[in-house]
Amino acid sequence: QKEVEQNSGPLSVPEGAIASLNCTYSDRGSQSFFWYRQYSGKSPELIMFIYSNGDKEDGRFTAQLNKASQYVSLLIRDSQPSDSATYLCAVHSGGGADGLTFGKGTHLIIQP
Amino acid sequence: DVKVTQSSRYLVKRTGEKVFLECVQDMDHENMFWYRQDPGLGLRLIYFSYDVKMKEKGDIPEGYSVSREKKERFSLILESASTNQTSMYLCASSLSPFGAYEQYFGPGTRLTVT
């Protein structure tokens, strides 16, 4: 059974600070990792994906992957109130067209 | 820009009705997926398809069927709707079964079965 674990939160971060969201996964064969943002009542929106160990930066967002520890994280720099949302971690176990396994999400609140 | 559309944003059906949820993507993606999302349970995969007329069961296929007659369209069918199928239904697509696994979601259909 493939599992993706996230702290449900809420995680409260002051505006302008760095928000750090974490995710662990159970399947060592996992190859691809994704972060989605979901506002209340809306569908998930892809923020970033990462395939290799290390860091990947895109604007204010940095994804970090450590396959040995089966751990992936998302850092949001200079957090804004508009970043308040639920962040979903998703994992693909490599090869084939099967779906992603999603964590249940972390609810992030950016306090003005 | 990837565009995934779903036929309805909100739908109310009665127990026992046959329900069709339609999804269309305009980016020539190979793969299409149906998920449902429930509070406390997260996103769960119902069915997916990697080619026209091909379908694979996901984690929770019971009570559902799917149809993919054209590459751009993937339909989810509830043969006899039940109250435990009240949920948010999300369609997604991704480019290829051999890489580019990132999925793009439609706006969702909130289905209520009474």
- Whether residue A94 is predicted with pLDDT greater than 70 in this model: the reply is no
Please give the pLDDT value at position A2: 78
- Interface check for B40 against chain A (CB to CB < 8 A): the answer is yes
Q: Mind listing the pLDDT tens digit for each residue in A28-71?
A: 988 899 999 999 999 999 999 999 999 999 999 999 999 999 99
CB-CB contact of B31 with B45 (8 Å): no
Nearest CA distance, A52 vs chain B (angstrom): 14
The verdict on a CB contact (< 8 Å) between A99 and B33 is yes
Is the backbone of residue B7 left (phi > 0), alpha (psi -120 to 50) or beta? Answer: alpha
Question: Rounded to whole angstroms, how far apart are CA atoms B64 and A34?
Answer: 27
Q: What percent of chain B has pLDDT over 90?
A: 79
Return the structure tokens found at B72. Answer: 């751009």
Please give the pLDDT value at position A65: 97
Q: Mind listing the pLDDT tens digit for each residue in B58-85?
A: 889 999 999 999 999 999 999 999 999 9
Alpha helices for B1-114 (secondary structure H): none
Residue numbers of B between 60 and 89 with CB closer than 8 Å to A = none
Which residue carries 């450590």 as its tokens? Answer: A66
- Whether residue A96 is predicted with pLDDT greater than 70 in this model: the reply is no
By C-alpha distance, the chain B residue nearest A96 is B97
- Whether residue A106 is predicted with pLDDT greater than 60 in this model: the reply is yes
By C-alpha distance, the chain A residue nearest B36 is A43
- Interface check for B108 against chain A (CB to CB < 8 A): the answer is yes
Please give the pLDDT value at position B98: 62
What are residue B83's phi and psi, to 5 degrees?
-65, -30
C-alpha A93, offset from chain centre: 16
Please give the pLDDT value at position B86: 98
Residue A46 makes CB contacts below 8 A (sequence gap 6+) with A34, A35, A36, B102, B103, B104
Residue in B50, B56, B102 closest to A34 by CB:
B102
Q: Widest CA span of chain B, in angstroms?
A: 41
The amino acid occupying position A90 is A
Chain B partners of A105 at a C-beta cutoff of 8 Å? 42
Q: What percent of chain A has pLDDT over 90?
A: 83
Nearest CA distance, A112 vs chain B (angstrom): 27
Please give the pLDDT value at position B102: 84
Return the structure tokens found at A43. Answer: 């569908």
Averaged pLDDT of chain A: 93
- At residue B100 the predicted structure's pLDDT band, cuts being 50, 70 and 90, is low
The verdict on a CB contact (< 8 Å) between B42 and A44 is no
- At residue B108 the predicted structure's pLDDT band, cuts being 50, 70 and 90, is very high
DSSP labels, chain A: ---EE-----EEEETTS-EEEEEEES-TT--EEEEEEE-TTS--EEEEEE-SSEEEEETTEEEEEETTTTEEEEEESS--GGG-EEEEEEEE-SSSSPPPEEP--EEEEEE-
What SS3 state is found at B2?
A: coil
C-alpha A31, offset from chain centre: 15
More confident position, B21 or B97: B21
Nearest CA distance, A105 vs chain B (angstrom): 7
Chain A partners of B42 at a C-beta cutoff of 8 Å? 88, 102-105
Which residue carries 């399947």 as its tokens? Answer: A27
Chain A partners of B50 at a C-beta cutoff of 8 Å? 96-97
Please give the pLDDT value at position A99: 77
Please give the pLDDT value at position A59: 97
